[in-house]
Structures are given as structure tokens and as C-alpha cells.
Amino acid sequence: MSYADLIGVERARDVLVERLPAVMDHGLSFCRAVYHTTPGGGTVDVPGGLDAGLPDIRIRPDLSTIAPIPWEDGVASCVGDAFEPDGDGPCPEAPREVLRRAVARLGELGLDAVAGPELEYYVCDPDPSSPTGWRRYADATGNVYTAGRKGDPEGHLLRTLRHLRDLGLGVTMGNHEFGGGQFEINLDHSGALDAADRAFRFKAGVQEIARSEGRLATFMAKPFNDQDGSGFHVHLSCVDADGRSVFAGSHPDPSRGDDPPHPPGTASDGLSDVAHHAIAGVLEHAPALAALLNPTINSYKRFGPDSLAPWLTDWGLDNRSAMVRIPPERGEASRMEVRLGDASANPYLGIAGLIAAVYLGIRDKAVPPPPLEGYGYDAAKAPVLPGDLPTALDALAADEALADVLGEPFVTAFLTYKRDEVARFRRHVTDWEFTEYAYHL
């Protein structure tokens, strides 16, 4: 039984199957500070953790998510929900609960979100001679968008696709990506909570399959200086109570009698006014969203001109140089592809942030600027996104509307945790600094 901590790491406990009825009755107790535990095993002093004497949370399994693990005979897995120790109220910083909160706010408008995640990652082989202990798997250049043994001589991709399909994660297809040893696997679209559950289990599954083969699969944003980073793109749309897309151009804005004039440059783009409001919401709250979708020090080394990762706050029609790309399909397939996120993001929090921004945009009838024309990465055309994690955290702290949707307890916990990460990094002497300064200074 597993659940995601603040940064999306899988926390879990093995339960013998005959004990499952008792677990259903009482849940499993975990120290609440697991949400505040760093990748290195330290505990950050987040309110409600150390200051409260390290109290418990209670995790209850959601049996609707149970599935046999294809690569582990005799074992099934499921996702759990986190509750306060008395078992009555949900734990407010639990990522699954944060997403539920955002979905509920969107539901106040009579809408539900549909999400389709895309995730990239690198596979590495052990290499004792490397400073990191790892080297990229099958590290040949130019195997961009390939399949088969050319860029994957040991069949990692097909084996992983089949395992994840059998786990019921709705994987659809995959390919070798731009970087040596880099792969992308797409997941089918579904309701937001289910999509986030599948993305969370996808990441954990890919890593576990790689470990079983003696390899490392990493969703780190930019693990190598000489290769592109790994993205977490989310295809997002909204549907009404009848399951119809409200992003389709023929769908009226239900809150207005007469349709207002289209935003500049959008009169014939095939999208509804609701879609334009949603796009505007994502653009307006993008600086704060960066903290959730680009949540590490390393994340901002993936950004920059000509990187095919976002650098500016813009949107475009079938334009991969924009932060928000509108794919060419229309009608019921109308959607936005938000390209802001990197693969290190917690899927629950990233999708929750996007839904919160969409909700605010639709609620406030926000209007986007004209769409990007041609190739982007021109800072004269659109605002620049935060260039580092501290700036993004400050933007999240200042975005009161977004924090209200996500929940103040969660935002406080997240900011405290991440600002501790920034402070620790600023005190750490890196290899770059030694190489740059030690000999000459």
C-alpha cells in the first residue's frame, strides 16, 4: 500500500493479505513527518511535524486502485489516502487530497477535468568509474523518436510498456526520446484523480522495473549537462455534466447569455470562450505553477531559449515553442497541452495546480493575450517564467487566489519544505565551484 509524499516519492508498507481486513478497519499509521522528509533522509521542521512531537497520520487503502504487480509474483498494490490520527478528517497536505480539493472547486462551476500525462525519463547503467556511479544506457546520438533495438538494444521500452499495461495504468505508446538513454511513455486521458494516480504509479513502476534489472531510471529534470531535460506534459480539458467537452468551439459559456467578442487573434481558432478563459488562467498563474511543476533546484537548468522547454509565459496553436500548446484536434478532442512541467514534479500537485488555475481563469472570465506566432523564445513577446526555485516559491507565496484553492495548510507546508531545500543548497559546495576556483584562487 503506497502513497505520495510532498515531492511525489512513493512511501509504502507491505501488508500480508490476511491482515488486509484489519487495515481496512483501522488504517496504517505512519509518522506525519514522512511528508517533510528530504531525499537524503532529513526531516524539515514543517508545522505539525517536529513541533508537534512527530505525530501520526493514518493511511487507508483505496481498494478501487488495487492491481497485481506483473513483475512481482504474488503481490498486488494499491494507493492509500491519508487521514488525521483520529481517522475522521483528511490530512490537508496529502497530495491526493490537494488534488481532490482543486477538482471540487472546478466542480462548483459544473465542470470536471480530464487529464492525459506524458512523462520522459532517463535510464542509466552502473559505472563505478563515473563520478555519479552511473552512465546513460545505450548512449548513442541521434536516436530521436525511434523504436526497436537501435536506441534500446536490450528492449527496455517494450518490456516496460507491457508491464505497465498489465498493471492497468493505461499506457498507450512510447519511444526513444531526444537524449541518449532517454524515453517517453504516454498515458491515456481520464479524470484528474485517476490520471494523477496512474502517473504516480507509472513513475514508481518504471523505477522499480529498472531496479530489478540493476539499472537506474530517473525522472530528474536535467540529470546531464550535455543532454536535454525530461518533461512532464499534461493534456488538459474540461467536460460538463453530460461529459461533453466545453473547450470545443461550439460550446457556449454557460455563465453568459450572449457570447462575448473573442480575444484578439482567436476568432477562428475553433476553441470556446471557456477554453480561452482556462488558457488565460494558466498563463496568469504560471509563475506560481512553476513552483509545483518545476519543484527542484535542478528544474530551472532545463529552461532556456531553444531548449524545447518553456521559458516564457505564452500559448500557441500547435506550437511546441510555447508554454501552452493547443494541439490541432478540435471538437470533443479540444484540449491544451501544458508543457511547463518537468518529470520531477509530483503528479498530484502539478495537476492540482493546473486545475486550480483553470478554475480561476474560468471563474474570473480571464482573457488570454493573442497566441504566439512563429517560433518563440523572444522575451519581447511574453513575460519570462521564474528563473530559479526561490523566485517560483515567492510567486506561489504571493498568489493568494491559487493558495485558497489548493489549501493554505498545504501551501505553508510546501513552501517551508522547499525553502529548506534552497537554504541547504546555498550552503553546499559543488564540484563546479571547486573546478572553477580551487586551482587559481
Domain chopping of the chain, boundaries: 2-91, 102-256+264-432
Higher pLDDT, 265 or 205: 205
Provide the CATH topology of domain 102-256+264-432: Creatine Kinase; Chain A, domain 2 (3.30.590)
Average pLDDT over residues 335-353: 97
**Quick one: pLDDT at residue 254?**
52
Q: Is residue 256 pLDDT above 80, yes or no?
A: no
Q: Is residue 221 pLDDT above 50, yes or no?
A: yes
The pLDDT confidence band at residue 257, using thresholds 50, 70 and 90, is very low
Q: Is residue 265 pLDDT above 70, yes or no?
A: no
Higher pLDDT, 268 or 112: 112
Average pLDDT over residues 169-179: 93
* Least confident range of 102-116, 232-246, 261-275, 377-391: 261-275
Q: pLDDT tens-digit profile of 8-65?
A: 999 999 999 999 999 988 889 999 888 888 998 888 988 888 888 888 999 999 999 9
User: Which CB contacts under 8 angstroms, 24+ apart, belong to 223-226?
Assistant: 223/122, 223/298, 224/122, 224/136, 224/179
**Quick one: pLDDT at residue 251?**
64
Q: pLDDT tens-digit profile of 128-169?
A: 999 999 999 999 888 888 889 999 999 999 999 999 999 999
Average pLDDT over residues 93-114: 97
102-256+264-432 and 2-91 share a CATH fold: no
Is residue 294 within 8 Å of residue 221, measured between CB atoms? yes
pTM of the model: 0.94
Average pLDDT over residues 122-128: 97
Is residue 1 within 8 Å of residue 13, measured between CB atoms? yes
Percent of the chain with pLDDT over 90: 79
Average pLDDT along the chain? 92
**Quick one: pLDDT at residue 292?**
98
Q: Is residue 111 pLDDT above 60, yes or no?
A: yes
Average pLDDT over residues 74-101: 92
Average pLDDT over residues 350-368: 97
What is the second-level CATH architecture of the domain 2-91?
Roll (3.10)
**Quick one: pLDDT at residue 400?**
97
Average pLDDT over residues 242-271: 70
